[in-house]
Amino acid sequence: MTVPNIVLNNGVPMPQLGYGVWQVEDAEAEKAVATALDAGYRSIDTAALYYNEQGVGRAVRSSDVPREELFLTTKLWNTEHEYDRALAAFDQSMGRLGLDVLDLYLIHWPVPAQDRYMDAWRALERLYRDGRVRAIGVSNFTVETLTRLLDEGDVPPAVNQIELHPTLAQAELRAFHRENGIATEAWSPLGQGRGLLEEPTLVRLSAAHGRTPAQIVLRWHLQLGNIVIPKSVTPSRIAENLDVFGFELSPEDMAEISALDVGRRLGPDPATMSF
């Protein structure tokens, strides 16, 4: 199974489909990531906050897949939005992962109430210039916080990883990303599995295409140009979520899925999120 790449704004290729490990315990992460790598995933998304960087690192280091074929993302937590603290937090993440160079480092949330994300961004720019990370980006940034980052920063973010699924389609933010050369990465791409996958439109399209509702949703993302990082610890679902390159949704199918957008968040609102 070959996953296509999205070429980031600095020329670095990133697999369009990867494996997310939020809420996977460190002890379980090694096995889950090993299963994903065996299935053919080459991109893994973790974060300091997930407390499983060690398990991810063990899986990566014990895998037969050469490091240069892998794309590893981790994230800077909200308490570290200060230049020196951010540099130290990166070193700690890399120590836990057991890696020398990271592929993508993201500011996890902008936390506008704290208003320190530009300090954090300066640290990410430094890590990027020093060659310790191949691309830098953000997560949960809004048009407002992205605009400031683009205006005041030296390196434009390569990626914004945001909550995005058919019931929160994020049209405005995706258009802003497109205009500014920022790749859109969808978190909770399956709407966390709750409710969304029983949605009648998706069940109908699932029967029509002979694919599962999860595969229909992932296909919708891919055809929109989103990067996706679905999570599962069930081996059959890990494989199923990767098997989405052998069929195509029609423009009508795409429009029907996009019509499910009701602007409903599952996670916090990034404009007010402050923990």
For ligand NAD, the binding residues in 153-172 under the rule CB under 6 A are 161
List the one residue out of 56, 73, 44 whose CA is nearest residue 157.
73
Residue from 50, 105, 117, 128 carrying the catalytic annotation: 50
108 labelled ligand-binding = yes
CB 80 within 8 A of CB 49: no
From the list 14, 35, 36, 45, which residue makes contact with ligand NAD (rule: CB under 6 A)?
A: 45
Of 129 and 265, nearer to ligand NAD (C-beta) is 265
> What are the C-alpha distances in Å from 107 to residues 11, 47, 48?
20, 10, 11
206 binds ligand NAD per the rule CB under 6 A: no
Of 127 and 218, nearer to ligand NAD (C-beta) is 218
Place of tokens 């699932």: 206
34 binds ligand NAD per the rule CB under 6 A: no
50 catalytically annotated? yes
112 binds ligand NAD per the rule CB under 6 A: no
For ligand NAD, the binding residues in 225-244 under the rule CB under 6 A are 229-232, 237, 240-241
110 binds ligand NAD per the rule CB under 6 A: no
Which letter does DSSP use for residue 182 in this model? Answer: -
From the list 12, 39, 118, 197, which residue makes contact with ligand NAD (rule: CB under 6 A)?
A: 197
Orientation of helix 213-224 relative to helix 251-258, angle to 10°: 100
Which amino acid is residue 252, in one-letter code? E
CB 56 within 8 A of CB 89: no
- Name residues whose C-beta falls within 8 Å of residue 41's C-beta, 6 or more positions apart in sequence: 3, 15, 17, 18, 19, 238, 242
From the list 71, 117, 141, 187, which residue makes contact with ligand NAD (rule: CB under 6 A)?
A: 187
The two tokens of residue 16 are: 């369009």
- Name residues whose C-beta falls within 8 Å of residue 231's C-beta, 6 or more positions apart in sequence: 19, 20, 21, 22, 23, 24
79 binds ligand NAD per the rule CB under 6 A: no
Which amino acid is residue 129, in one-letter code? R
Of 132 and 211, nearer to ligand NAD (C-beta) is 211
Q: Which stretch binds ligand NAD (CB under 6 A): 34-42, 58-66, 190-198, 200-208?
A: 190-198
Known binding-site residue numbers for substrate = 108
Which positions touch ligand NAD (CB under 6 A)? 20-22, 45, 108, 139-140, 161, 187-193, 197, 212, 214, 229-232, 237, 240-241, 267
